[in-house]
Structure 1
Amino acid sequence: MKGPSDTSIEAGDTSTINVNVTREKFNAPVELKFTDLPEGVSIMEKDLSISKDATSAKLTLKANPDAKAIDDHKVTVTASGGGMTEDVTFKVTVKGSLAAKKLTLKAPYDTSIKQNETATINVEVAREKFNAPVELKFTDLPEGVSIMEKDLSISKDATSAKLTLKATPNAKAIDDHKVTVTASGGGMTQEATFKVTVKK
């Protein structure tokens, strides 16, 4: 068996590898098994066999966006067929991990809202070395207060979202109620808090 060439892959990306086998005096499928893949890296194909009429398999490595950066990580390929087993190794380098990417979240300013009224808040994000939409989630809003917008995402070309808080007529009056904003994008998550005061 000839294992894949040493390969390099970026976090969030894919890479193609080839495994070649030579059979002598037998004609049967060969099953492949990969062990010790780097953290966050997997084989996309479910069928890891080389049919009896084929001599090679083209497979796809996939690295998660948060795959850990590592150099020359040794991976073992085991080929089994015709009652025989053979191991070979190759090296995988993972580049551009989360250490190179960054998501920064700036929460809205503390805000005040009256019962049965609305208030505008602004959420800002900064991206480094990635370009993807950012999804927002608000937790622990005061009783009777909600976000009017259904789309709580910041598009990949934008850096902020202007959203509207709405208080019902019977929203509970409360001072400095802490609300959490969670921003998720590029395989990363950030949280920030701000305070909402509800007045009668």
Structure 2
Amino acid sequence: MDSATMQRKIKGMFDEYLQLKSDSEFVECFKELGEVNYLAAISEIANNLMDRRPDQAEQIVKGVAALRTNSVLPEDVAVAGLADFAEMLEDIALDAPNAERFFGMLMAAIKVPLSRAAETLGAMMNDPSPSAEPIVFVYLKELVAADGEDKTREAVEEAKFDVAQFFDKSKQSDDDVKGVLAKNGLLPLFSKFA
């Protein structure tokens, strides 16, 4: 499927979903794209999401979550599609003030495992920048909202999740990381800093 057709189909899916709010319809529309197009579709879903109002983005993310809940979207395809989009995210964030927040919400909705968060951020991890940090905070907060603090803390410990890797290199000391985690209400997830 060419890029223009994909953009048009994803926009149509989003517009229909915002009207009907039917997860099952969203899933069926996604399936109609064909498995061969899923990778490009995830990248385009992320791209289209960036132009939405916060209330629309929050609703759409619920529909996207249904893709994983209904086992339509394989984890590897989800991670690769988001990683493709992440390469452009820093540039997009210059014009889309909610880009980092929406991307973090999308990571949580697609159920990106903590062990694959860095992979999902792709090229951004080659030189962690301040923009990786807020994405991960949103992602973690969304996981806490969905699964609860205890379950998320267990997942963090099981994955040996190194949150410092998402910080700017000049701010990766334990004291810096602990301060930022505390400021964002995420300190209870990391026993290392307790």
Pick the structure with more strand per residue. 1
Question: TM-score scaled by structure 1?
Answer: 0.20
Higher relative contact order (CA 8 A, sep 6+): 1
Question: TM-score scaled by structure 2?
Answer: 0.20
